[in-house]
């Protein structure tokens, strides 16, 4: 089983990313969960969301405390939230940033695998808005192979309709441009 924790801000699409990943996994015949963790937060407030994906039925129904992967949609959250809390030592931290992997390692003190992609720039260029959910989903897929990139097409088409192709382009660019150590 792979467990993923997403960190974002209200309105950035972390919950949408979780839903898209779960639907893509199910489309591949896998079992998946996707759920948010937030209360009455407002737009811009920190939020977390979670995925579990497995080849077998997922019976666990709790928050994820020791994820295999952490995805950070907004690097400014790293000054407010310990994004690597509970991240497995052999896990992967994926950050939307223009900073280098070395800089992120120094900031977080995480010694495991780190991946970076300038998801905000990609989102601005491909979508015209700084919403990085589908962008960072592309980076996650490249780093983990949890699902095939093409498996997300159906859920993205269904969710975004006429702007689906822009989201798919952003996802593919992040998939191609993500850097990892």
Q: How many whole angstroms separate alpha carbon 53 and alpha carbon 44?
A: 28
**Dihedral sign for Cα atoms in the order 105, 125, 136, 138:** negative
Query: For residue 171, what are the domain limits?
Result: 2-180
CATH number at 132 reads 3.40.920.10
Model pTM?
A: 0.95
pLDDT in tens, 89-141: 999 999 999 999 999 999 999 999 999 999 999 999 999 998 999 999 999 99
- Tally of domains in the chain: 1
Residue 14 CA: distances (Å) to CA of 68, 132, 135, 137: 17, 9, 11, 9
Q: How many whole angstroms separate alpha carbon 45 and alpha carbon 78?
A: 13
Residues 6+ apart with CB under 8 A from 102: none
pLDDT in tens, 23-56: 999 999 999 999 987 655 567 788 899 999 999 9
């Amino acid at each position: 089983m792979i467990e993923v924790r997403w960190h974002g801000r209200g309105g950035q699409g972390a919950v949408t990313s979780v839903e898209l990943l779960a639907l893509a996994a199910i489309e591949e015949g896998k079992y998946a969960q996707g759920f948010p963790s937030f209360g009455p937060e407002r737009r811009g407030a920190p939020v977390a969301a979670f995925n579990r994906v497995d080849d077998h039925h997922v019976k666990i129904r709790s928050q994820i405390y020791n994820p295999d992967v952490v995805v950070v949609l907004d690097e400014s959250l790293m000054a407010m939230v310990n994004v690597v809390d509970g991240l497995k030592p052999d896990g992967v931290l994926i950050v939307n940033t223009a900073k280098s992997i070395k800089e992120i390692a120094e900031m977080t003190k995480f010694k495991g695998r780190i991946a970076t992609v300038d998801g905000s720039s990609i989102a601005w260029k491909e979508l015209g808005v700084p919403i990085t959910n589908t962008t960072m989903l592309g980076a996650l897929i490249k780093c983990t192979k949890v699902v095939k990139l093409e498996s997300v097409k159906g859920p993205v088409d269904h969710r975004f309709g006429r702007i689906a192709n822009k989201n798919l382009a952003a996802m593919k660019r992040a998939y191609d441009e993500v850097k990892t150590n």
